[in-house]
Amino acid sequence: MEQFTVRTSNRCELVPITAQIQSIVRSSGIKTGVCVVFCPHTTAGLTINENADPDVARDMVYQLQKLVPASDPGYRHSEGNSAAHILASLMGSSVHLLVENGTLQLGTWQGVYLAEFDGPRTRKVWVQLIGS
C-alpha cells in the first residue's frame, strides 16, 4: 500500500488527485489490474467526475452545501461538523479504478477528487494496487 497527503484550504472543496494516483501506478510497475483508492477520514471522501472545467467541481460543492447545510438546529453531534459527516457518507470513502498498460483507465473528461467537508486540513489518501 502507498499513501500520500493532501492539504486542503477550504471547509468544503474538491481537490484533484488523479496525478498523484497515476504516479503511484507508474512507479509500481503494474501493467494490468485494479487500483483501490481509500480515504481514511469520516469528514472527507472521494469521487470521480469531470476534470476539464473547474466550474463543475465548484458547482458540485455549491449544491452539496445546499443539500446538507453546515448548521441545522436538528443536528446533535457536539463537535459541530454533522454536515461534514453526512456529506462524506454521501460521497463515499473509496473509488476503484482499472489499470491497463500501466495507466489509469478513466473517461476522457474524468478525474479523481478528494472531497473535503471539514477543512482546511491535511488528509491522507491510501492506494492499493492489485495486478501484474
pLDDT tens per residue, range 53-91? 999 999 999 999 999 999 888 999 989 899 999 999 999
What's the rounded Cα separation, in Å, for the pair 115 and 110? 15
Rounded distance between C-alpha atoms, residue 125 and residue 20, angstroms: 10
Dihedrals phi, psi of 63, to nearest 5 degrees: -70, -35
- Superfamily of 2-131 according to CATH: YjbQ-like (2.60.120.460)
- Tell me what percent of the residues of the chain surpass a pLDDT of 90: 95
> Given strand 2-7, what is the order of strands in its sheet?
2-7, 122-131, 33-38, 94-100, 103-105
Check pLDDT > 90 for residue 44.
yes
Q: Where are the domains of the chain?
A: 2-131
* Whole-prediction pTM: 0.96
